[in-house]
Structure 1
Amino acid sequence: MDADEPAPHEVPPGTVPHDLLATADLVTAGALSPRGRPPRAGVALGRPLAYTLPPAHTAGTTVLLCFPFDLEELPAGCGYRQVGLEVLFDDENLRALDLHPGAGWAGPDGARATASGIGGNRPRWTFRARHTGATLAPDGRWAQAVLASPVPLTEISGRVRVGGVIEHPLLSGTRAEGEVRTRDDVPFRLSRADIWTGAPLARPTPGPAALALAGLGEAGPPDDRLPPGRRHLCLAVDIERYSARGNADMIRAQRALLRVVRAACARAAVDWDACGRQAQGDGYLLVLPPDTDDTRAVPLLLAGLTEALATVNREPGTGIRMRAAFHHGIVHEGDSGYAGSAVVELFRVLDCDPLRTLLADDPSTDLVVAFPDRTYQDLVVHGYEGLSPAGFLRTDVRVKQFTGVAWIRAQRPVGRALSLSEEPVTSERPRSD
């Protein structure tokens, strides 16, 4: 980061409109690309707007929070390819019950949005331009979350961060993309007196808050409402003989595993930030966005895993072998992880003895893959490009109370070597998982 790049700052009271929380510069994220620096950019963060809703818990509080923001105009020829807003609440008791815009939302300009974080206290939204070559209008945007606390709230506080991808021209006449982000998180704090009650819900003042309320409706969610269940493609991976490693080697293995999964996503052009991600020490669960084309993503992810694993295992001291499984079905984002019968079946297949034995008995491969029967019949048998049924073996799966059928195969690298310096499609520097 350059020393002359100013940090985000909270606006001094009395010098700007009361509804402006802060203005912040969007600075270059990470090392500069050799292809050039994106132009200076900025964001104006509106003061969060809060409204009470009927409580999800008898003794608790349910609120609707709106986060308006404006992107700074860019020089001619430059544009925002995407922008992400993340909120980190200080209160660990807060839980997001609903987010809007949500998955599949499309704006009037064709921009699309995704959201993640239901069940937690770190909601995140990403807005993307509608197609390659298009950019987002730097007009006012907003994101909103319905939050519940099991206890009465006296205040709501936290931090906001913004990141994005800017497309800009080069002297050569070509175009490049550069990542930007707020250098520091911007704090906010709302007292109980700042939270609107009663009448504003029925006739909110026009603006971002009104649009958010219109999208939600006026009724609060019941206390037994499930988080949204959507059909997702899921990938699970697990390292062989992880518990037999020493502490330092476990850390190296975890890092190698994450590099492999991220490189596979880059190979398949899967947006890392749009995926649900759940680290499990010796394994990893990836929940792809609901609009994913399974017929394209599965063969490319499988090829990416195979190639990236071969690459990482050529490096001294980082060798890992692993099992992988794909499945699709209805998935819920619960309070402590992803839930649904598809997730359970995915991990039962990943843990089954025949898949473990196949890896242990075949020293010529470092990766074996499994598909539950339903996913195998939906995808593999049809011979989609890059995904052949050749070499798959049918096997019975019996793990705990689960019984079923799976198809398993040893994978061997083919085609190009995959550089682990490739970055996944992402809107900002990745979080530590």
Structure 2
Amino acid sequence: MSPAVSVRTAGLVTKGGKTMRHPERRLLVAVDMERYSRRSNLQQYEAQQDFKQLLKKAARDVGLDRVTWTTQQAGDGELAILPRDVPEARVIGRFVPELDRRLRHHNSSRLPAARVRLRVAIHQGMVHLDGANGFPGNAVVHVCRLCEADPVRKALADFPGAGVALVVSTEIYRDVVTEYPEEMRPERFRRVEIAHPDKDFREHAWLCVVDEDISSWEPSQTSPADGPRTRHTAEEGARGGRRSPAAPAEGATSTGTHISTGDIQVRGQNAIGPNATAIGSVGRDVSLGGDGGGR
């Protein structure tokens, strides 16, 4: 048989000597956690536990069974392919708001470093469920690009009390959101451009921050909230992985993180006070006594 010939039988496609299942049209949900890479190892572990439990409980409370979802896990999120019979309006109009409600409640009693806030993207399209290393399909690529986009990151960062920033594709907005306005509240969505120039991706989508008014918000393209993870210091480890604010430029005046006087620089939250550490111009550490003097 020529490699160009395809044989289709009983839901299977044989092409080039390889057999694969027909792709299926499904609802796709991509979820990503904000600022995950900036957490310590222990904080990442705890965030993953909270993430799984919050999604499970939110789905259960609106009559959805996450056991039936086909998922591809990542440390800071997941890609979910929902069963064919799951109502799209329930996912967008009930599951996402319930997830936001639970996240707000969860975060209200936690320090910023332990809070879980999510970007959620929803799209639909053809997907292969029998891929060798994931789920092949342009719809999968599309929903992941939406979830990773700068405007979505910025929207979540600009509304620190929110739990979810939701972005849906143009097709989902047209076919679901605008058709069921009593559940979807289309007036809460803003049309944004999603661009990944390095990946030749440029599409429009519709964005909302659940239970927030973004009518006057501007989705300017800025640096993503998630940055590359930096190496932990001993001081951060003692504080459970929390980072200090960035130090000012050398020579700047500060009362907490960085003091520069001549050839002596002092860093750290205890820069003024007992047992602060100074770094001399020749790299020698100088301990400061309780009166701030060197010894």
> Is the partner of 1:278 in helix, strand or coil?
strand
Shift of 1:267: 2.3
Q: What is the number of equivalent residue pairs in this alignment?
A: 198
Shift of 1:295: 2.4
Alignment match, 1:347: 144
Alignment match, 2:263: none
* TM value normalised by structure 2: 0.62
Q: 2:125 aligns with which of 306, 326, 329?
A: 329
Name the % identity.
Answer: 30
Cα distance change of structure 1 residues 221 and 262 upon mapping to structure 2, 3 Å threshold: same
2:116 equivalent to 1:320 = yes
Alignment match, 1:308: 102
2:207 equivalent to 1:411 = no
> Is the partner of 1:312 in helix, strand or coil?
helix
* TM value normalised by structure 1: 0.43
Alignment match, 1:252: 46
> Is the partner of 2:29 in helix, strand or coil?
strand
Gaps of 5+ in 2: 1-8, 213-295
Cα distance change of structure 1 residues 228 and 364 upon mapping to structure 2, 3 Å threshold: same
Is the CA contact 1:238–1:284 (under 8 Å) kept in the aligned structure 2? yes
Please identify which structure carries the higher strand content. Answer: 1
One-letter amino acid of the structure 2 residue matched with residue 343 of structure 1 = V
One-letter amino acid of the structure 2 residue matched with residue 330 of structure 1 = M
One-letter amino acid of the structure 2 residue matched with residue 406 of structure 1 = A
Alignment match, 2:246: none
Alignment of 1:76-115 (within 5 A): none
Alignment match, 1:382: 179
One-letter amino acid of the structure 1 residue matched with residue 190 of structure 2 = L
Q: 2:195 aligns with which of 395, 398, 417?
A: 398
One-letter amino acid of the structure 1 residue matched with residue 103 of structure 2 = L
One-letter amino acid of the structure 2 residue matched with residue 319 of structure 1 = R
Instruction: Determine the C-alpha separation between the residues in 2 that align with 1:286 and 1:412.
Output: 24
Alignment match, 1:370: 167
Is the CA contact 1:267–1:300 (under 8 Å) kept in the aligned structure 2? no
Shift of 1:406: 0.8
Instruction: Determine the C-alpha separation between the residues in 2 that align with 1:298 and 1:365.
Output: 16
One-letter amino acid of the structure 1 residue matched with residue 45 of structure 2 = I
2:88 equivalent to 1:289 = no
Please identify which structure carries the higher helix content. Answer: 2
Shift of 1:314: 3.2
Instruction: Determine the C-alpha separation between the residues in 2 that align with 1:282 and 1:269.
Output: 25
Instruction: Determine the C-alpha separation between the residues in 1 that align with 2:10 and 2:152.
Output: 46
Deviations 1:300-330 (A, max 9, x none): 2112211221232134464112211111111
Instruction: Determine the C-alpha separation between the residues in 2 that align with 1:328 and 1:310.
Output: 28
Deviations 1:312-361 (A, max 9, x none): 21344641122111111111121111221111110111111111111112
Shift of 1:276: 0.3
Cα distance change of structure 1 residues 231 and 220 upon mapping to structure 2, 3 Å threshold: closer
Alignment match, 2:154: 357
Is the CA contact 1:321–1:366 (under 8 Å) kept in the aligned structure 2? yes
Shift of 1:393: 1.0
Shift of 1:384: 4.4
Is the CA contact 1:380–1:387 (under 8 Å) kept in the aligned structure 2? yes
Instruction: Determine the C-alpha separation between the residues in 2 that align with 1:286 and 1:321.
Output: 18
One-letter amino acid of the structure 1 residue matched with residue 128 of structure 2 = H
Gaps of 5+ in 1: 1-214, 414-433
